[in-house]
Amino acid sequence: MLSQNMIPTCSVMFRRRLLGKPPEWILQLAMGDWPQWVLLAQSGDFGFINDTLGVYRIHSRGLWSSKDELTKAQDNLAAYLAFEKYIDGHSPIVRQNILDYEHYLTRRHLSLGNSQVARDHLGEYWKRASLRNARQVIGLVAQVCFPSAYLVYKRVRHTW
């Protein structure tokens, strides 16, 4: 449930008494369904009916499908940060996904020429990364903070 939003909204059924008023933090997110399923999962088990219960049409004017990949990544990162703060701050799934999105957003903003935003995501990535990610962190720091030196390194590293 925490790894990704895998439940089509049109097929969800739950007991109304479990829903209640959504917490304020959910209302601040770009999506409401996935955080709601995560909250509902804390009330008990989920079931799965292996049958077609509805048709979910993906089109260019959909609330989610109309967003570009960068915006989706930023929205997913915001959801994971909310899960960390309000649901389970010790979940390895949540922590790894935050790390993955910070890494992706650092590289993506760098490729778009948004160096300050890339630095901001790099700072968050740096704070969260463990020693096993040291090589990635060092590579990103070099790429973001010292782009000319990184390009030289990239050209000559295969000649060593």
Q: Give me the pLDDT at residue 2, please.
A: 83
Interior angle at CA 58, CA 53 and CA 61, nearest 5: 135
Distance (Å) of CA 106 to CA 41, 116, 122, 125, 136: 32, 10, 6, 8, 12
125 and 99 Cβ atoms separated by less than 8 Å: yes
- Whole-prediction pTM: 0.82
Q: Give me the pLDDT at residue 158, please.
A: 65
Q: What is the pLDDT of residues 44-79, one digit of tens each?
A: 888 888 888 888 777 888 888 889 999 999 999 999
Q: Which of 105, 133, 136 is nearest to 118 (CA)?
A: 105
Q: Give me the pLDDT at residue 69, please.
A: 95
Where are the domains positioned within the chain? Answer: 9-159
Interior angle at CA 28, CA 23 and CA 34, nearest 5: 70
Q: Give me the pLDDT at residue 106, please.
A: 95
The C-alpha atoms of residue 80 and residue 20 are separated, in whole angstroms, by 22
